[in-house]
């Protein structure tokens, strides 16, 4: 944890569930949200943002989306603009998730443009970075993350970073605690160097196979200010247990 920074536990629901299932999951998270040591954020698919936001109105649980377009509006068939997400009740948006980078060829420059659009619409960007397994094996993990930070973040960045080693996402594998702490330390140093005092308190989340069983140890590491949780966020009890461990 970073002293003085309240942790954030964010659930990335990816492309799962019906609207009724998303609403029920949101209600279960809402029911267990009081008194936790962390702020909570859930990120359903675009189609469910408004419905989940309606369930969570007046609760401490925030709603985010999983991507946005870099333009505020226009002829972009199939895309969703940041102002639309804000209008639907979202306060956050995940950007540059490795599945977007891989499935949709998103570059650091594209992520940066989306982060600018998100901020302009009043959304808090949650920008994901992280190395592949081959990059880690080649000793390039820190360099890759530093490059992604340098090129994905706009000059005026007020958001959240999520460090997600690609090889740990959905695999049940996690880096060692020393490796997580090392990368989070590098990210903190880069943020502080570039953004000054604001960078010293920017939340840096860890993501990649975080579960109730490993959350406490990971969340206790320096500069780990919460988690971005995929699979375990689809089970309310597990998501809430991770937040309780913060």
Which are the catalytic amino acids?
Answer: 97, 164
Q: Is 190 or 211 the residue whose CB approaches ligand PEP more closely?
A: 211
Comparison of 174 and 202: residue with beta carbon closer to ligand PEP = 174
Q: How far is the CB of 220 from ligand PEP (least distance, A)?
A: 18
- Smallest distance, ligand PEP to C-beta of residue 172, A: 8
Give the nearest distance from C-beta 14 to ligand PEP in angstroms: 7
Residue from 114, 119, 118, 91 nearest 10 by CA: 91
Applying the rule CB under 6 A, the residues between 216 and 245 that interact with ligand PEP are: 228-232
- Residue 9 contacts residue 43 (beta carbons within 8 Å): no
| Beta carbon nearer to ligand PEP, 86 or 101 | 101
Distance CA 61, CA 67 (A): 19
Q: Which is nearer to ligand PEP, 115 or 228 (CB)?
A: 228
Among 210, 215, 236, 242, binds ligand PEP (CB under 6 A): 210
Work out which of 11, 130, 207, 226 binds ligand PEP, going by CB under 6 A: 207
DSSP E strands in 61-180: the ranges are: 61-65, 92-95, 124-129, 160-163
Q: Which stretch binds ligand PEP (CB under 6 A): 65-73, 139-147, 203-211, 237-245?
A: 203-211
Each as own residue / partner, the long-range contacts of residues 142-145 (CB below 8 Å, 24 or more positions apart, any chain) are 142/182, 142/183, 142/186, 145/183, 145/186, 145/187
Task: Choose which of 66, 148, 202, 209 interacts with ligand PEP (CB under 6 A).
Answer: 209
Q: Which is nearer to ligand PEP, 105 or 172 (CB)?
A: 172
Q: Count the site residues for ligand PEP by CB under 6 A.
A: 13
Residues 3-32 that bind ligand PEP (CB under 6 A): 12
133 to 192, contacts with ligand PEP by CB under 6 A? Answer: 164, 169-170
Smallest Cα–Cα separation from 186: which of 133, 134, 222, 228? 222
**Which residue in the set 208, 223, 224, 245 belongs to the binding site for ligand PEP (CB under 6 A)?**
208
Report the nearest approach of ligand PEP to the CB of residue 199 (Å).
23
Within 10 A of 88 (CB to CB), how many other CB atoms are there? 19
Nearest C-alpha neighbor of 42 from the set 5, 191, 56, 199: 56
Alpha helices in the chain (DSSP H): 19-31, 49-56, 82-88, 98-103, 108-120, 133-137, 141-152, 177-195, 197-201, 212-219, 236-244
- Footprint on this chain of ligand PEP (rule: CB under 6 A): 12, 164, 169-170, 207-210, 228-232
């Amino acid at each position: 944890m970073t002293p003085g920074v309240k942790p954030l536990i964010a659930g990335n629901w990816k492309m799962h569930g019906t609207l009724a299932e998303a609403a029920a999951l949101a209600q279960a998270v809402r029911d267990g949200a009081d008194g936790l040591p962390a702020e909570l954020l859930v990120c359903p698919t675009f189609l469910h943002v408004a419905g989940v936001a309606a369930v969570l109105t007046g609760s401490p649980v925030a709603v985010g989306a999983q991507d946005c377009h870099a333009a505020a509006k226009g002829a972009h068939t199939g895309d969703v603009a940041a102002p639309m997400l804000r209008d639907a009740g979202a306060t956050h948006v995940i950007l540059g998730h490795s599945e977007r980078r891989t499935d949709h060829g998103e570059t650091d420059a594209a992520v940066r443009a989306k982060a600018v659009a998100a901020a302009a619409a009043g959304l808090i960007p949650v920008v994901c970075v992280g190395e592949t397994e081959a990059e880690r094996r080649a000793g390039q993990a820190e360099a890759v993350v530093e490059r992604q930070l340098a090129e994905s973040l706009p000059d005026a960045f007020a958001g959240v970073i999520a460090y997600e080693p690609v090889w740990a996402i959905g695999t049940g594998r996690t880096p060692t605690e020393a490796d997580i702490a090392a990368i989070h330390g590098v990210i903190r140093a880069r943020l502080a160097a570039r953004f000054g005092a604001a960078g010293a308190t920017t939340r840096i989340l860890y993501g990649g196979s975080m579960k109730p069983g490993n959350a406490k140890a990971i969340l206790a590491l320096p500069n780990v200010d919460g988690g971005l949780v995929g699979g375990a966020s689809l089970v309310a009890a597990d998501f809430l247990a991770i937040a309780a461990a913060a």
